[in-house]
Amino acid sequence: MNIGQAATASGVSAKMIRYYESIGLIPKTLRTEAGYRVYSDHDVHTLRFIRRSRDLGFSVEQIADLVSLWRDRERASKDVKTIALDHVSVLERKIRELQEMASTLRHLAENCCGDSRPHCPILEELASDEPLPVHTKTDAKFGALGKA
Amino acid sequence: MNIGQAATASGVSAKMIRYYESIGLIPKTLRTEAGYRVYSDHDVHTLRFIRRSRDLGFSVEQIADLVSLWRDRERASKDVKTIALDHVSVLERKIRELQEMASTLRHLAENCCGDSRPHCPILEELASDEPLPVHTKTDAKFGALGKA
DNA sequence: TGTAATCCTTCCAATCATGGGAAGGTCAAG
DNA sequence: CTTGACCTTCCCATGATTGGAAGGATTACA
């Protein structure tokens, strides 16, 4: 199987397959005499594992760990779970940040009549010296992303 | 005011101030004879506007639009509101994507006992050929993160 | 006055995962 | 034997930001 077929079968683009090989996430494949990379069904299976991990937002570094745990039949499921739950925490933090932004912006936009007149509370708020009003329901004290 | 003081006063790093100047987001400043950039309070005000916009997740491109609307006393508030609400949509889409990932992962992790034995549903699922089970629709919903 | 510390300048590089494209070699079908 | 679809490597771009090196300017202090 050439790289294009492996790409189609796995859902990982040929570009990314070469990239993953270059950074050592997947081993170097066999080559034909002409230098074409050759892939087996097993390789495609690994690529699909990688793609599914990416779909869940894991970084390439974490995927390297997951792949090595996957290959290790002596692994402790605890190690996998730790990686997964650490990632969930990261996702949840990002979600909270984005929710805070969206919520603040929605409230600013609500107070802007959005017509042809120039008066605009959104701009006023951006130009203000006061801290941005945060409108999350629960926890509002995570400070925006700036570093004070 | 030198760039370092402007950075401290605005919350935008000196590096980023130079970058914003290089891409044209802010105009080129006056320089001392030695070539040092000189900033006024007004410049700092603009930089703070930019930082607050960044804190809300606006891209530099959008910020350029916001700054130019801010400067334009003839603007229509509609134009500002459109930018803001478009951005809210983008934020909401990202939030949903991340929620889906987190939700799926939490469910996978729940079924992993996380001990020293090798059996692990997380890896099994990543290695499976079936579509990843998404848990947003059934039980997790969008509000599941509210408490987390 | 000397000197050391702290600023400032520009330029280059790296991040992270991905795509685009050029230049050139290979393969299969007509 | 040509054409078109594939493959190869290499370089570049993204977005926002940080890091650092090399070198000049300013400031502080003895």
Distance from CA of B21 to the nearest CA of A (A): 19
**Strand D contacts (CB < 7 A) among B residues 26-65?**
32-36, 54, 59-61
Please tell me whether any atom of strand C lies within 7 Å of the Cβ of B36: yes
Rounded Cα distance between A79 and B115, Å, is 8
Q: What is the pLDDT of residue B85?
A: 96
The tens digit of pLDDT for each residue in B50-64 reads 999 999 999 999 999
Question: Distance (Å) from the C-alpha of residue A48 to the closest C-alpha of chain B?
Answer: 7
CA distance linking residue A64 with residue A42, whole number of Å = 17
Q: Looking at the partner chain, which of B52, B74, B92 has a beta carbon nearest the beta carbon of A102? A: B92
Q: How far is A26 from chain B (nearest CA, A)?
A: 15
> Is pLDDT at A143 greater than 50 in this prediction?
no
Instruction: Give me the domains of chain B, ranges plus CATH numbers.
Output: 3-71 (1.10.1660.10), 81-145 (no CATH)
Asked if the C-beta of B17 comes within 8 angstroms of chain A's C-beta atoms, the answer is no
DSSP codes joined into one string, A27-49: PPPEE-TT--EE--HHHHHHHHH
pLDDT in tens, A33-44: 999 999 999 999
Of A56, A78, A106, the CB nearest to B116: A78
Nearest partner of A98 among B70, B97, B133, judged by Cα: B97
- Mean predicted lDDT score pLDDT of chain B: 90
Percent of chain A whose pLDDT exceeds 70: 90
How many whole angstroms from its chain centre is CA B39?
27
The answer to whether residue B66 scores a pLDDT higher than 70 is: yes
In the prediction, which pLDDT does A119 show?
97
Q: How far, in Å, CA of B30 to CA of B38, rounded?
A: 6
Position B145 confidence tier, pLDDT thresholds 50, 70, 90: very low
More confident residue, A146 or A82: A82
Sign of CA dihedral A44, A46, A51, A52: positive
pLDDT at residue B74 tops 60: yes
pLDDT the model gives residue B47:
98
Angle between helices A41-55 and A14-22 (to 10 degrees): 90
Query: How confident is the model at residue B92, as a pLDDT?
Result: 96
The predicted pLDDT at position A135 comes to 60
Q: Which of the nucleotides in strand D have any atom less than 7 Å away from a protein CB atom?
A: 6-9, 15-19, 24-26
CA distance A13 to B55: 34
User: Span B111-132, mean pLDDT?
Assistant: 92
Q: Check whether B20 has a pLDDT greater than 60.
A: yes
Q: Which of A48, A29, A27, A47 is nearest to A39 (CA)?
A: A29
Helix, strand, coil share (%) of chain B residues, nearest 5: 65, 5, 35
Residue B138 has pLDDT above 50, yes or no: no
Q: A139: how many CB neighbours lie within 10 A of its CB?
A: 10
CA–CA separation, A10 vs A6, rounded Å? 6
Specify whether the CB–CB gap between B127 and B93 falls below 8 A.
Answer: no
In angstroms, the CA A107 to CA A134 distance is: 9
Q: Which two tokens stand for residue A14?
A: 């040929």
Mind listing the pLDDT tens digit for each residue in B32-53? 999 999 999 999 999 999 999 9
Q: Which two tokens stand for residue A129?
A: 């010296």
**H or E segment to which residue A18 belongs:** helix A14-22
CB atoms within 10 A of CB B111: 12
Helix (H) or strand (E) segment spanning residue B81: helix B77-110
At residue A64, the pLDDT reads 97
